[in-house]
Amino acid sequence: MTIDYLEKQLENWKRWLLVSSGAAITLLATSIADIPNYSNPSFPGWFAIWLILQLGTTPAGFGLLSGKGWRTLPLAERLNTAFGYLAVAWITLLAFGFKAVWLPSILWFLIFGLGIALAVAYLTLRRTRIDSPEEMFP
């Protein structure tokens, strides 16, 4: 794959990131707003939307971050988009935690631990990207 082709594909991935982030925020807001109505534990339609969003964003984030074809594009260009997809995946996981009140508290620690690990990984990769010396004559 050429770099021009990958840059065009990255723009498409960025557009889909906006759509999926809007869907994840809406899913999180509805799950928080629906907390008083949890006397009925069935939510098959909501779960299907959650599953599609979760299975669509998680592999996309890891694929953009470490995919074989995407490695030809510099990490600096795809880092924010890849971690954007992983952040959307975490938001949908958080929405599932609010919707499924039967989750044990240890899983809540796992969800927040994943969020902290995601933030630390992003800041670490971003810092190494910023601190790397620029080539004067490429």
Task: Please state the domain extents for the chain.
Answer: 3-131
Length of the chain: 138
pLDDT tens-digit series, residues 74-93: 888 889 999 999 999 999 99
pLDDT tens-digit series, residues 17-40: 999 999 999 888 888 877 766 655
pLDDT tens-digit series, residues 34-80: 776 665 555 667 788 888 899 999 999 999 998 888 888 888 888 99
Answer whether 89's CB lies under 8 Å from 20's CB: no
Q: Which pLDDT score, from 0 to 100, does residue 90 have?
A: 94
Q: Which pLDDT score, from 0 to 100, does residue 73 have?
A: 87
